[in-house]
Structure 1
């Protein structure tokens, strides 16, 4: 077939021959097959024995990426071969799928950190736990430990159905529309690890939630089921498809359907099948489902889903109610059973094995032992009797886990950054910690909601485009003409409403970052009208005030 007729590599249109290296790797051997090789071969024969197609491709289907070799500066990211960036250790991602964790599960996660990951552990904004410094020789033992408490790294990464988001308070929150846990569990049990969906055009991110706060950020997932109540008073889900950020951000589109709880697994299978069969496989940067639905529109996507995959029509349904101003579940709040939950903020999601063990101890001492992770890199202790809440908050504070954090601690997020990530250009975690510490000193009384999200590269793992202040890492030129670490600044992003505004030429070096953020926050505080949000102020402010 002539090159100009290859289209976008869509399987449903007959284009099955791989059009790039990634597609060729997946066709040559299903990525799920690498799990057996890791256990039976690579863990015994060591790092140097790993086939490059497995190392930099199929390993991702089991939550494993080689981490960045220490000492390689951001100027070399993307300009030297990947094998020169590779360290001999791995980042490992454990999929939690938005589930509440027992004390036993949390202790296993803690023990893995201590024994195998040099005491590292990060809570991601997709409710995963992420380790560093993992040696290939230790992977089978880690998998055995995870499996013993019902956890896995399978399809935590790769062109696969990655970990689901669910409200950490599912089944617990006083104001939830419905508990989405049964639907999430059913999809996971049916389809995770199935070769039916182990070769997608790109990653596929799922959220299923009945949370009235909309904590699973349905606007930016590939597929989201959002709890609603229809005109007949029945609870079910509204369906959103095609959200995503990175270098070409798009908000998900409502299909306008009402999905009954028992239909969720069929509809999820239908949507991911449309993506698998019609998704664009020719160019990696256009392979997410957001590009397909952007081209097709919601009406055509719904039509194809119903006619070709479901075999029945879904009824029209209502949109969800607006989200609450604070979606993060931080603080002390009542559960529907009369107990309380206590949400707290680590520093940009960074914890470690020792802290996780301490949290497990505290959850058992003051609650039922159950905890949960949030989509904002935060954590919650569940089922706490009211009389125990303040004692628990005090104990958490001793570990620098704040139940009543400043706005800067509460609403900051950071991706992994150059410390471990091969895609990163700049440092993120420590720099965000330093920034929040300094802002707390300089602006001690500032208490308006304000999100500050920092990313080490353009991929937006930390959602820079939907933050009030989004900081996208890049190399910039300082006043002396030297190329240094810095950030492009996005201002006034709002989930589902607008992406952050890029003011012409607005960048800052890392050295000047804190001064810039302090300056723009002070201007907002001085100029804002009563009740005016930062994003609203950005929309009307003079450009000079944003610089």
Structure 2
């Protein structure tokens, strides 16, 4: 009897037998014939941004195979014409669903295979694509949403981000990596793209003579690869793409493919040691990586661009807005479109915290536009609870989730805003539906991790475990600590409310120090 394949063996065989990029012809065939999709092609659908979704919201008589479709937004940008196409896809093909992600993408649900050719055609009409939005490939390169318009930025890295994304897009040299692979480029003075969690990142630094260098960090990640990226030195702008190319080759050729949970770049660096990794890298490049010297970074609580700000572009402003854990939906998209047209705005950019920045508002319209956005719950001046809450896809759509998330996040924010309207401290919250880290629960003040627990009657039900005390700040970053406190879904609001009350009645001067008293 043949030995059963491990998960890793199965995935590696599937990728070897047919490149994920080659599934596009099969997608069109399945759409045309209506035949059942081969389970191994379902895995390859990821190379075009698709995952099968949970059947939690499907009727018992509905046997349709539905997908989540993730669309890459280069630099996080959506122009007004692109917004209109997204709204069309949302209405006609996704049952009104749409959410911004932590990689500056937009994703839909309820996508049917039969609709994919038309969805892809619509995306192409406005220069958008889902290629490499998922799968064992380089994902969307993240960056600051106010590149080129922020007076406080260190460098405008827009063109670097565009060039890196163009370099990776559909690149067969890197279409079979050991696992997903995440790159970030930052020119923001607040380091708002969270370099600590990227596989590879570049942070702009201005030297005393005014020249710009880029601090290189490698091996960051969450979930099974929970580690802070390590700084390895400095390169020039021109060296970013060749260095990224070589790091990616090393990862492709030497990454640990035997286990999916040990296959990220950070796992390879831990296995080899940083010194061997850097030595191998240097052997294969024809330029110098300058001596490492770690710099100070902004605390993750303060990496934000909310409110109205004058742009570098004369007569223009940008408006940073909080959504609620990335949820936008058809109503939200249509609201944005009508408000954009009314106030003559042309584009927005998504952030890595599931929020948005409207990038080009005529300054004379900014205040009125901000007021109107607030009326439709797109908040330029959010509460300290709404500003920094994130949530993953959750039980409604994700096959791995134990607990629902988006609705939980929305209800929790509304509850806390009502109970504590004057709460003045920045607080970061993540609602995660399973033990993975899609909503980054390990780097926030309050992380809710989906789990099974018992309700008041002792019946097992969906719920959460409380994690506390995480944050990002370069080498000083700390991951959340477990508390062992678990509670059912219907006790989320009460549990977090009681935490805030206990803190307010304590002698602690900040919320994080108080929360750490709950850690094991």
Settle same-fold status: TM greater than 0.5: yes
User: Take 2:433 and 2:512, find their aligned partners in 1: how far apart are those partners?
Assistant: 23
342 and 349 in structure 1: CA distance in 2 versus 1, 3 angstrom threshold: same
Q: 1:58 aligns with which of 37, 41, 44?
A: 44
- Matched with 2:23 is 34
> Are the counterparts in 1 of residues 318 and 359 from structure 2 also a CA contact under 8 Å?
yes
Structure 1 unmatched ranges of 5 or more:
4-17, 73-84
491 and 59 in structure 1: CA distance in 2 versus 1, 3 angstrom threshold: same
User: Take 1:419 and 1:281, find their aligned partners in 2: how far apart are those partners?
Assistant: 31
Q: 2:480 aligns with which of 480, 500, 503?
A: 500
166 and 297 in structure 1: CA distance in 2 versus 1, 3 angstrom threshold: same
Structure 2 unmatched ranges of 5 or more:
none
169 and 313 in structure 1: CA distance in 2 versus 1, 3 angstrom threshold: same
User: Take 1:94 and 1:528, find their aligned partners in 2: how far apart are those partners?
Assistant: 47
Matches within 5 A, 1:371-386: 371-386=348-363
SS in 1 for 2:302: coil
Matches within 5 A, 1:173-192: 173-192=150-169
User: Take 2:212 and 2:507, find their aligned partners in 1: how far apart are those partners?
Assistant: 39
User: Take 2:389 and 2:414, find their aligned partners in 1: how far apart are those partners?
Assistant: 11
263 and 494 in structure 1: CA distance in 2 versus 1, 3 angstrom threshold: same
User: Take 1:368 and 1:401, find their aligned partners in 2: how far apart are those partners?
Assistant: 15
- Matched with 2:276 is 300
Q: 1:348 aligns with which of 315, 325, 336?
A: 325
Per-residue CA deviation, residues 171-190 of structure 1 (Å, 9 max, x unaligned), is: 11111111111112112222
User: Take 2:335 and 2:458, find their aligned partners in 1: how far apart are those partners?
Assistant: 48
Q: Please, which moves more after superposition, 288-297 or 156-165?
A: 288-297
User: Take 2:194 and 2:455, find their aligned partners in 1: how far apart are those partners?
Assistant: 36
User: Take 1:232 and 1:425, find their aligned partners in 2: how far apart are those partners?
Assistant: 53
SS in 1 for 2:431: strand
19 and 96 in structure 1: CA distance in 2 versus 1, 3 angstrom threshold: closer
How many matched pairs?
508
SS in 2 for 1:126: coil
Query: Does 1:401 pair with 2:381?
Result: no
Per-residue CA deviation, residues 473-509 of structure 1 (Å, 9 max, x unaligned), is: 0101223221011111110101141111112x32122
334 and 298 in structure 1: CA distance in 2 versus 1, 3 angstrom threshold: farther
Instruction: Give the deviation of 1:23 after TM superposition.
Output: 0.3
SS in 2 for 1:310: coil
User: Take 2:497 and 2:261, find their aligned partners in 1: how far apart are those partners?
Assistant: 35
Q: 2:149 aligns with which of 156, 172, 179?
A: 172
Q: CA RMSD in A?
A: 2.2
Query: Does 1:44 pair with 2:32?
Result: yes
337 and 467 in structure 1: CA distance in 2 versus 1, 3 angstrom threshold: same
User: Take 1:86 and 1:305, find their aligned partners in 2: how far apart are those partners?
Assistant: 50
Q: Please, which moves more after superposition, 356-365 or 242-251?
A: 356-365
SS in 2 for 1:137: helix
Instruction: Give the deviation of 1:300 after TM superposition.
Output: 2.2
Instruction: Give the deviation of 1:343 after TM superposition.
Output: 1.3
User: Take 1:478 and 1:247, find their aligned partners in 2: how far apart are those partners?
Assistant: 29
Q: 1:363 aligns with which of 340, 343, 346?
A: 340
Q: Please, which moves more after superposition, 453-462 or 514-523?
A: 514-523
- Matched with 1:259 is 235
Query: Does 1:334 pair with 2:334?
Result: no
Q: 2:446 aligns with which of 448, 469, 482?
A: 469
Instruction: Give the deviation of 1:42 after TM superposition.
Output: 0.9
Query: Does 1:288 pair with 2:264?
Result: yes
> Are the counterparts in 1 of residues 76 and 351 from structure 2 also a CA contact under 8 Å?
no
User: Take 2:126 and 2:174, find their aligned partners in 1: how far apart are those partners?
Assistant: 25
Query: Does 1:234 pair with 2:211?
Result: yes
> Are the counterparts in 2 of residues 486 and 507 from structure 1 also a CA contact under 8 Å?
yes
Instruction: Give the deviation of 1:19 after TM superposition.
Output: 6.2
Instruction: Give the deviation of 1:384 after TM superposition.
Output: 2.0
Instruction: Give the deviation of 1:317 after TM superposition.
Output: 5.0
Q: 1:119 aligns with which of 96, 100, 103?
A: 96
Instruction: Give the deviation of 1:443 after TM superposition.
Output: 1.3
User: Take 2:202 and 2:225, find their aligned partners in 1: how far apart are those partners?
Assistant: 23
Q: Please, which moves more after superposition, 489-498 or 468-477?
A: 489-498
Q: TM-score, normalised by structure 1?
A: 0.89
User: Take 1:384 and 1:151, find their aligned partners in 2: how far apart are those partners?
Assistant: 23
SS in 2 for 1:250: coil
